Amino acid sequence: TMGEMASPSPSPAPEAAAEPVQEKAAVLPQPKAGQPVKGFTLTAMESNLELSPGVTQAVWTYNGTVPGQEIRVTQGDFVRVTLKNELQVPVTIHWHGYSVPAGMDGVPGLTQDAVQPGETYTYGFSADVAGTYWYHSHQESSVQVDKGLYGALIVEPKQSEQPDKDYTLILDEWMKEGGDAHGAHGSGSMSEDEMMASMYNIYTVNGKSGSSITALETKLGDTVRLRLINAGYLAHGIHIPGEFRVVSTDGQEIAEPAVLKDQVVTIAPGERYDIELKINSLKDFTIDAHDDNKYNDQLVIPVKVSGSKGEALEVQHDSLTDFDLYHYGKPAESDLSKVQKFALEYTAVLNSRVDGNGQVYTINDKVFSELPALQVKTGDYVKLTFENKSTVDHPMHVHGHFFQVLEINGVKVESTIMKDTIRVKPGDKIVVAFKADNPGNWMIHCHELHHAAGGMAQQLTYT
Ligand code: C2O
Ligand code: CU
């Protein structure tokens, strides 16, 4: 199981005899001859995180901080990460969006056994694709990611100009412990989903909220890359003032991204957006949140331009437009919209209902344990349609593969937009396609991880 779903384990029967820990995994991949190796140790451990002055939360971390230590390597490196588990609960590491070999994907019960308290486990993979990714535990992930077990995985491109400044910004939400979760006990007309959303009453960037958010330091003429990662369960509309380009999403480059001005980039749970901006005036500014969420006043990222006299950039707040990823960029060479024959075309109708166990989240009216695995062969082209019949967002994530977005609500997407997580809003019908090129057992699930835990997940298997 995914460690959190009541279902028969898809893993092989456990062996009887005691065995070396690493044999609980698929074969650990090794670097090619001469390949540079970058080694890291991530220790899963308890810690305390001061979200803002006087607000300290007990958290679970990789290496004592939330986010956990950033894994930053160069394209072509071999990444070796040793996970030490010093928590009282089993954990894993999943490399969200990265096409690692299936055995390294970190899904307990599917690709490995969870790493027990006191145990050590090693992951290894070749960092062949550049971009912004992240890692998180996949054991009881709705709880463990919520408690802080995540960090960034950044793969810098081998040949290309580096930006002057490169900032990783991981968004998340927290519930104030023992505090006044105002709104949480709101009106009786609130749905379970609305209640849940309103209980997250502290919004953070890199583990800091409000005035505790670290300012980004820049200077006139700088090219700044912002790597936005959403590790939380709410979509956030991030207002980028001035001129900017969205250069990649979910780690995948966007072909010929046009320059935009003063727009709101909405980032759903699990998604990433890389934004490039140029500092062309001696004025400070802020990057903040513009959407319907309740606690946006806590989500303000100051950008300081060295030498500025504290003067602030003039910002249009009333006439902001929403960035539309699906009318942006250009077609690229690898274009799956030209594929003639799909070996598998599957429609996943996303919904939820209340049954004896409370609220369940369904794909085609079934929960994970009732859903058959989707079967593919290497080389197959696969078309997936996500249709959201419920009243809440479902950011759908496919493990181990990049998919191309072909169609949004009947409208063909002309440019080549590759993703691993896509926001499916209520009423949306979204068609995506991918090439089955990474054999193994994989998950497809909603990245509002409570929804995944509540059933909205399905397995993808190579035959
Ligand atoms: Cu980021 Cu299966 O998850
Ligand atoms: Cu969902």
Separation of CA 311 and ligand 1 centre (Å): 42
pLDDT at residue number 178: 58
Closest to 328 (Cα-Cα) out of 424, 223, 418, 268? 418
Residue 172, pLDDT > 80, answer yes
* Confidence band, pLDDT 50/70/90 cuts, at residue 333: confident
Average model confidence (pLDDT) for the chain?
91
Amino acid at 202: I
- For ligand 1, whether the C-beta of 136 sits within 6 Å is yes
Over residues 373-394, mean pLDDT = 98
Q: Which residues have their alpha-adjacent CB atom under 5 A from ion ligand 2? A: 394, 446, 448, 451
Amino acid at 29: P
Residue 11, pLDDT > 60, answer no
Q: Tokens 């010093």 map to which residue?
A: 86
Q: Under DSSP, is residue 297 helix (H, G, I), strand (E, B) or coil? A: helix
Q: Which residue has a Cα nearest atom 1 of ligand 1?
A: 96
* Confidence band, pLDDT 50/70/90 cuts, at residue 183: very low
Please state, in angstroms and rounded to a whole number, the distance separating the CA atoms of residues 234 and 202: 12
Over residues 129-149, mean pLDDT = 97
Residue 209, pLDDT > 50, answer yes
The two tokens of residue 406 are: 């072909």
Q: What is the pLDDT of residues 252-265, one digit of tens each?
A: 999 999 999 999 99
Identify the residue with better confidence: 356 or 53: 53
Residue 203, pLDDT > 90, answer yes
Closest to 44 (Cα-Cα) out of 96, 125, 2, 106? 106
Over residues 125-134, mean pLDDT = 97
Q: Tokens 């997250």 map to which residue?
A: 200
Separation of CA 392 and ligand 1 centre (Å): 19
Q: What is the 3-state secondary structure (H, E, C) of 426-460?
A: CCCEEEEEEECCCCCEEEEEECCHHHHHCCCEEEE
Closest to 255 (Cα-Cα) out of 158, 335, 155? 335
pLDDT at residue number 177: 72
* Confidence band, pLDDT 50/70/90 cuts, at residue 311: confident
Please state, in angstroms and rounded to a whole number, the distance separating the CA atoms of residues 236 and 260: 19
**CATH fold label, 21-157:** Immunoglobulin-like (2.60.40)
Please state, in angstroms and rounded to a whole number, the distance separating the CA atoms of residues 184 and 178: 12
Q: Which residue has a Cα nearest atom 3 of ligand 1?
A: 96
Which residues of the chain does CATH 2.60.40.420 include?
21-157, 171-323, 336-462
171-323: in CATH 3.40.140.10: no
336-462: in CATH 3.40.50.2000: no
Residue 356, pLDDT > 70, answer yes
pLDDT at residue number 41: 98
Amino acid at 286: T
* Confidence band, pLDDT 50/70/90 cuts, at residue 303: very high
- For ligand 1, whether the C-beta of 383 sits within 6 Å is no
Please state, in angstroms and rounded to a whole number, the distance separating the CA atoms of residues 236 and 239: 10
- For ligand 1, whether the C-beta of 272 sits within 6 Å is no
ipTM above 0.85, yes or no: yes
